[in-house]
Structure 1
Amino acid sequence: MPNAFVAGQGNLSEHEEAMVARRANVLGPAYRLMYETPLHLVRGEGVWLYDQAGRAYLDAYNNVTSLGHCHPRIVAAIREQVGILATNTRYMHDLILDYAEQLVATFPNELSQVMFACTGSEANDLAVRIAKAYTGGTGIIVTENAYHGITETVAAFSPSLGPAVDLGAHVRTIAAPAAYHASDSDVAATFKRNVEAAIADLKRHGIKPAVLIADTLFSSDGVLPEPKGFLAGAVEAIHAAGGLFIADEVQPGFARTGEAMWGFQRHGIVPDLATLGKPMGNGHPVSAVVMRPEVCDEFGRMARYFNTFGGNAVSCAAAMAVLRTIEEERLMANCQSVGAYLAEGIRALAGDCEALGDVRGAGLFIGAEFVTDRASKAPDRVRAGKVVNAMRDRGVLISVTGRFHNSLKIRPPLIFTKDHADHFVAVMKEALAATA
């Protein structure tokens, strides 16, 4: 894991050292902590997180609470509903229907049905099951550092989990569409050719293609939003091969790009299925698959779907509050204006920092790539990591992303303001100077 704490290092207090030991003892070895010196957090409010000493940290990374920590409207919705009814989809209740109708209304008309789960991993697992039933295929195509989840099925096509997690024999990885590193200007044509090559290789090995799945901002590949529309050819290629396109909207969705509700809309395409997670309930565990009705016909006839907590009334109340808050507080417009302002501020820093090779993004989702020099564009993972930890020490939280872990992943709550952006840029300027 990039930007991970290493036991025995970091500036920890005696109490924190004891907490690390307790974690190892009772939680086992698989969990990871972030930052060279991990954080002991006790409270969150809006864009701020607070440690046990009361120090505030500007959270510019956490996509789970996309409307900010402990948003009062979401907290109130959960509290009210948990005191009325919390039940599952084997009973009828109006709230799941009201929310489902309002959710699909934010999608193109072709995507008119929704199924609920609890996590993004579950949503992607379900989407792939549906796609396999519809296509009769098993082959899956992803980008080389994609992350889609942690179930056994989904981990098998999440190469960012690292070499210790095996990819399936039915999985093919392709180069991410990185315009900054492209040898030619036609990112769309190159990406389409790569998908076609993966399809051909699957068929050569007797594997029928089923799915091309992509996070539509390519978040784990380094945040790769440009050029708009480059996904269209790749979607055409998988359709021509009899497969489906799944838009993983767990990170790009819910107005984050500032231009549209969903990341795929930047590309002028309509996916066959879209998967939602993390920000859907602003921290409450709820996720979904939104799909074309015909795609789910075969799956629905042959297998019943049941998820005890997926679609329960409390989750639907939280999700409904999120949807209404985005609309009523005009957060999409806020993402566009504040995101552009923040990106411009970070680009201005690149003028005095040769190592900051590229700044890119859409709305409040920004990647800033560090290189050893701008001529070779060779990745500088060390500098990126130092900047992340220098900012953490100065009270601003981000992390890294990309195949070489050399791009900053900047993903603040949708309620970020220009004042918060100014504070972020000022701290980043200090961190760049401190790590030069």
Structure 2
Amino acid sequence: MPTTLSRALASFPNRFDPGVMGGLPDHLQETIERRNEVLGPGYMLMYREPVEFVSGRGAHLFDRDGNDYLDAYNNVPCVGHAHPYVVEAVSCQMAAVNTNTRYVQEPLVDYAERLLETFPEELSKVSLACSGSEANDLAMRVARFHTGAEGVIVTRWAYHGITREVSSFSPTLGKGSPLGPNVRLIDPPDPRLVAPGSTLAEHMRDQVRGAIDDLERHGYRLAALVTDCAYSSDGIFTDPVGYMAGVLEEVRAAGGVYIADEVQSGFARLGDTMWGFSRHGVVPDIVTMGKPMGNGLPLSGVVFRPEVCDDFGQNVRYFNTFAGSSIPVAAGAAVLDVFEEENVQQRVLVNGKALRAGLEEITQASPYVSEVRGSGLYVGIEIVRDRETLDPDRARAEDIINDLRDRRVLISGTGKGANVLKVRPPLAFSSADVTRFLETFAEVAKVRL
């Protein structure tokens, strides 16, 4: 009979099994044992052999022996680990003051204005929070207040956060985290799911219309459609674009709003635009942001059309002590400075194209790779048992992930079958990093693909 922990491990891609520590170095074993004694439920480590890092720089992490690992996984340090400009900005602010939004802070206003300049003019209000989960929680509260409705539509394996509210529409959390009765699931925009004679735009529109109809049959009007604009947990589906216009027509005709979750796809992650939704030529009603905003400091945000949020602001008390406080705002402003000074978006576009082209060349003859897909520095490589059946091969995917880790290159897995290799480095990823990644991946491919 599997234990609760083993069931949780089984659903978690690329995980370390704490029952197998015999081959680990003594220091690592001791630290993991101490960790298991004191940390609460749900914590997991990555890779069959976990790794401990003591420092980082750009897209590189270093262990206690000074070994250099290429980080092709962590999107939290958006402009790079320990970016000196961000470090200096945060240090200077920490030495001055850290206060909250109940006091006048000109730097907070400056930052909000600069951030909103990157959005369409219809999106002109921003609220700050501390995490992507908090941002999505607030977005849903506002959506429900604005619409007076409860129904939520998300994709089949979506992840939007870990609060009780947000976990109720995050199906990737698994059976131990039940979905709300007001939640309906639709396909991600995978062109392979489209029936012959139809189009992706028609398929996605039909999916949303069917979900709305089913919600109404069960007494729920639609409050919001929520999508991660890279469909990260569904397996990474960034292209083709253009299907969202019809989807939004259905959502708004039903009285709902569209929440674009840009926690992973935003801040030029997809290369050709600053925000994932912009690639589709649509303007959401609400946009949520998280991880990259403060380069690892707890800073997230929700951007609104004012007509969606104004009534909520006038009638509901909302205050978050640490959201918008001085130090995270300094980090956020520094990130925007780095974007401008280093032309980050162009770097993502150029290096992302080189990365995908190299991966396509390496995998084109493999019977175990169905697709290389993605945009910018967000790439998925789908590992299958057979290209015809598309049967997921989780075991092979995990072997590849751990072979790369053994060669000091870090990636992870995603998708319902945990069989899509997820390549999602800091945006500091350079052309030299692309070369190192491709050379190492080619070594592993000779054995596994």
- Fold match (TM-score > 0.5): yes
Query: In the alignment, is residue 7 of structure 1 matched against residue 28 of structure 2?
Result: no
Q: Deviations over 1:272-291 (max 9, x none)?
A: 00000000000111000001
Distance in structure 2 (CA, Å) of the matches to 1:162 and 1:435: 29
Query: In the alignment, is residue 214 of structure 1 matched against residue 223 of structure 2?
Result: no
Q: Deviations over 1:23-76 (max 9, x none)?
A: 111003310101111111111111111112211110001010011100001001
Superposed, 1:84-123 pairs within 5 Å as 84-123=96-135
Output the TM-score relative to the length of structure 1.
Answer: 0.98
Q: Deviations over 1:312-341 (max 9, x none)?
A: 111111001101211221110111110000
Question: Secondary structure, in 3 states, of the residue corresponding to 2:149?
Answer: coil
Superposed, 1:3-402 pairs within 5 Å as 3-9=14-20, 11-184=23-196, 186-402=199-415
Q: CA deviation at 1:177?
A: 1.4
Among 397, 412, 424, the residue aligned to 2:437: 424
Q: Deviations over 1:110-168 (max 9, x none)?
A: 00000000000000000000000000001110001100000000011111111110111
Question: Secondary structure, in 3 states, of the residue corresponding to 1:221?
Answer: coil
Question: Secondary structure, in 3 states, of the residue corresponding to 1:219?
Answer: coil
Q: Deviations over 1:84-103 (max 9, x none)?
A: 12100111110110000000
User: What is the aligned-residue RMSD (CA, Å)?
Assistant: 1.1
Residue in 1 aligned with 2:418?
A: 405
Distance in structure 2 (CA, Å) of the matches to 1:113 and 1:25: 45
Q: CA deviation at 1:352?
A: 3.5
Unaligned runs of 5+ in 1: none
Distance in structure 2 (CA, Å) of the matches to 1:83 and 1:18: 36
Q: CA deviation at 1:181?
A: 4.7
Distance in structure 2 (CA, Å) of the matches to 1:2 and 1:161: 12
Q: CA deviation at 1:432?
A: 1.8
Distance in structure 1 (CA, Å) of the matches to 2:249 and 2:20: 49
Distance in structure 2 (CA, Å) of the matches to 1:256 and 1:89: 29
Output the TM-score relative to the length of structure 2.
Answer: 0.95
Determine what percentage of the aligned residue pairs are the same residue: 48
Distance in structure 2 (CA, Å) of the matches to 1:392 and 1:411: 15
Distance in structure 1 (CA, Å) of the matches to 2:386 and 2:194: 16
Question: Secondary structure, in 3 states, of the residue corresponding to 2:100?
Answer: coil
Distance in structure 2 (CA, Å) of the matches to 1:429 and 1:240: 49
Distance in structure 1 (CA, Å) of the matches to 2:243 and 2:188: 12
Q: CA deviation at 1:301?
A: 1.6
Question: Secondary structure, in 3 states, of the residue corresponding to 2:283?
Answer: coil
Q: CA deviation at 1:427?
A: 0.8
- Say if 1:232 and 1:267, in contact at 8 Å, map to a contact too: yes
- Say if 1:62 and 1:411, in contact at 8 Å, map to a contact too: yes
Amino acid in the other structure paired with 2:13: P
Question: Secondary structure, in 3 states, of the residue corresponding to 1:127?
Answer: helix
Q: CA deviation at 1:77?
A: 0.6
Amino acid in the other structure paired with 1:9: V
Distance in structure 2 (CA, Å) of the matches to 1:98 and 1:39: 40
The number of aligned residues is 436
Q: Deviations over 1:365-412 (max 9, x none)?
A: 111101111112221111111101100010100000111111011111
Report the more deviating stretch, 280-289 or 407-416.
Answer: 407-416
Question: Secondary structure, in 3 states, of the residue corresponding to 1:257?
Answer: coil
- Say if 2:75 and 2:427, in contact at 8 Å, map to a contact too: no
- Say if 1:180 and 1:358, in contact at 8 Å, map to a contact too: no
Q: CA deviation at 1:435?
A: 2.6
The verdict on how the C-alpha distance between 1:181 and 1:196 changes in structure 2, with shifts beyond 3 A counting, is closer
Q: CA deviation at 1:355?
A: 0.6
Q: CA deviation at 1:350?
A: 1.2
Q: Deviations over 1:189-221 (max 9, x none)?
A: 111111111111110000111000000111111
- Say if 1:9 and 1:37, in contact at 8 Å, map to a contact too: no
Report the more deviating stretch, 58-67 or 186-195.
Answer: 186-195
Question: Secondary structure, in 3 states, of the residue corresponding to 2:301?
Answer: strand
Distance in structure 2 (CA, Å) of the matches to 1:39 and 1:5: 10
Distance in structure 1 (CA, Å) of the matches to 2:392 and 2:264: 24
